Amino acid sequence: MWSPYADGHCTPPLPPSSGLILALCLVLTQLRVEGPGHLLTATMGQDVVLPCRLSPQRDARSLEVRWTWDDFSKTVHHYRDGEDLYEEQMGAYVGRTELARDGLSAGSLDLRIMGLRPSDDGLYFCTVEDADAYAETIVELEVSATGADPHLSLGGYEAGGVRVLCRSAGWYPLPQLLWRDARGQHLPSVSQTHSQDQEGLFEIEGAVIVTGSVEGPLSCVVRNNRLQQERESSLHIAAPFFHNAHPWKVALALVLVLLAVSIGLGVYLFRKQACPGLSSAPDGLAPSVPAVKVTLDPDTAHPGLLLSKDNSSVRRESEWQQVPDTLERFRYWWCVLGCEEFREGRHCWLVEVEGESLKYSWWAVGVARASVKRNGYFNRSPDEGIWAVESCYEHLKSLTSPPTYLSLSAVPTRIWVCLDCTQGQVSFINADNGVEIFTFTAVSFNGESIQPWFLLWTQGIQLSLGTSCPSPDTPQTPLLAPAGAAQE
């Protein structure tokens, strides 16, 4: 079973210090646990069993067994000395977990979770230990829900056509909303929003402008990419509805579009000629937001991270660096901050993820308050002053509280991080196709300075800050198909 930690275990590695650590490593090999070896999928409301067993088989009744979620501080179920201990159990799991006692004597550590919720989605860690040994494995669970059939309605005349609205609720994770004409061709949405209810289910709403040139029925499709299931509803708009759509509005809209394109082209050419070695920020965050030059702050870098000489890239090393032990330096999470501090305005920078082991990597990019905690464990969430997206084991999630797993076909490796101090937003955009990945809205920075934030937990991976001028293929309208957004 793969482990996100570079040394093959699922616990944060200790700094090299003495021969005692070597002896400890030898002891850790005395226990071995195995998970299912594959992804588990389940539907909201169902019960699920998370498999975990000792190998080779042995009696586990005298061992300490702990199941945790997302990281090692969030206890799902705890068993020790023949008793279930609930003092540390997360409130969301109270009365919903059960360790299979009848299998303990045969080495089975299976955990049953009853009445699945969207918040149960994620990585679970099965750990077992006694006085002399310790072992662990990871079980990944994906929870899904298919929502209701889309509801279509007319929203009035707009831009020479008719505005059509589509709404559907009860989905997890965040679904994709698409428009199709009678020939199956996709039509672009003019707007798209979503929200999450108390149970964590998503409601999504989109709008499209339909003109008389669209023949036949119009279809709205809402799709759960995780389950490969979709719901579809259709609407046929009769020709008389288009008679009141004024032609002069179409002409005016066309003139405005051409004017905007001309201005945008001029700005792009000007910036391309004047580029001093920086990538142009995505034009979709108009008015044009110039990319800022971000450098990494070596005084904040975890000792296990190695920065390049120009402080433009970072990678994890097996041996800790000999660096001063300062209050600014991260000591638990393998993090580093950018030197730049922002209090106002809008700023974008490009982060590129490179390496041969991307499939088994764990990294995160975003922003953090200047006062973010440096020493000891802390949650990577807005509650602790961090707004970021994180990739672990080829799964991308936004570090909301709780985390929101994003339904993407592939994890991007070139990401624009865009900070809007004025509007209180932090956006992440796929730099290869211009599609929005996630946006934190209504963010409260509490008047503090905000700095770029990076986390790198696995070896063989490098985070680099983009430093090249835009190529002709750089997407010019990134906000085409939002994958996710959330209130803080």
Among 136-140, 429-433, 474-478, which stretch is predicted with the lowest mean pLDDT? 474-478
Report the distance separating Cα 108 and Cα 59, nearest Å: 9
In 3-state terms, what secondary structure has residue 283? helix
- pLDDT tens sequence across 325-353: 889 999 888 999 999 999 999 999 999 99
Q: How do the domains of the chain map onto residue ranges?
A: 32-144, 151-241, 305-466
Predicted confidence band of residue 260 (pLDDT cuts 50, 70, 90) = low
8 versus 354: the higher-pLDDT residue is 354
Query: In 198-214, which positions are buried (b, 16+ CB within 10 angstroms) versus exposed (e)?
Result: eebbbbbbbbbbbeeeb
- pLDDT tens sequence across 82-91: 899 999 999 9
The reported pLDDT for the residue numbered 406 is 83
pLDDT of 114 strictly over 80: yes
CATH topology of domain 151-241: Immunoglobulin-like (2.60.40)
Task: Judge contact between 302 and 333, C-beta under 8 A.
Answer: yes
Domain 32-144 belongs to what architecture? Sandwich (2.60)
54-57, Cβ contacts within 8 angstroms, sequence gap of 24 or more: 54/107, 54/109, 54/128, 55/107, 56/32, 56/107, 57/106, 57/107
- pLDDT tens sequence across 303-320: 999 999 999 999 988 788
CATH tag for 305-466 (out of 3.30.420.40, 2.60.120.920, 2.60.40.1180, 3.40.50.300): 2.60.120.920
Average pLDDT across the chain, whole number: 80
Mean pLDDT of the region 227-246: 70
pLDDT of 270 strictly over 50: no
pLDDT of 200 strictly over 60: yes
Query: pTM of the entire structure?
Result: 0.48
Mean pLDDT of the region 437-462: 90
- pLDDT tens sequence across 117-168: 999 999 999 999 988 888 889 999 999 999 988 998 877 777 778 888 999 9
Task: Judge contact between 192 and 177, C-beta under 8 A.
Answer: yes
Q: Same fold for the domain at 32-144 and the one at 305-466?
A: no
The reported pLDDT for the residue numbered 283 is 42
Classify residue 229 as exposed, middle or buried by CB count within 10 Å of its CB (0-12, 13-18, 19+). middle
Cis peptide before 56 (omega within 30 of 0): yes
Report the distance separating Cα 179 and Cα 207, nearest Å: 9
